């Protein structure tokens, strides 16, 4: 499996189950008995960005400056 296929699977889980990207990755790993330490190389920049945005919204990471839109 490559990072694009993994991203598409996670994107489908997020839409189907209406959960966060981080929860979708953890759910996928749990369902397929995959160690979460092994999915790091499968996480694309796009998926990483979406997880980072969710973490900032939950105050798990410091927020970065954003320009007003």
Residue 32 lies in a domain: yes
Residue 67 lies in a domain: no
CB 43 within 8 A of CB 25: yes
Residue 65 lies in a domain: no
Residue 68 lies in a domain: no
Confidence (pTM): 0.80
- Give how far Cα 18 sits from Cα of 6, 8, 14, 40, 65, Å: 17, 15, 5, 23, 28
Span 8-27, average pLDDT: 95
Q: State which residues form the domain around 50.
A: 3-57
Give me the pLDDT at residue 67, please: 62
* Cα distance between residue 6 and residue 1, in whole Å: 7
Residue 38 lies in a domain: yes
pLDDT range class, residue 59, cuts 50, 70, 90: confident
Give how many domains the chain has, as a whole number.
1
Residue 11 lies in a domain: yes
CB 21 within 8 A of CB 10: yes
Residue 40 lies in a domain: yes
């Amino acid at each position: 499996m490559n990072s694009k296929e993994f991203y598409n699977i996670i994107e489908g889980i997020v839409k189907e189950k209406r959960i966060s990207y981080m929860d979708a990755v953890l759910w996928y790993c749990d369902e397929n008995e995959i160690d979460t330490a092994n999915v790091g190389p499968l996480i694309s920049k796009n998926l990483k960005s979406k997880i980072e945005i969710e973490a900032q919204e939950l105050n798990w990471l410091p927020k970065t400056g954003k320009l007003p839109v």
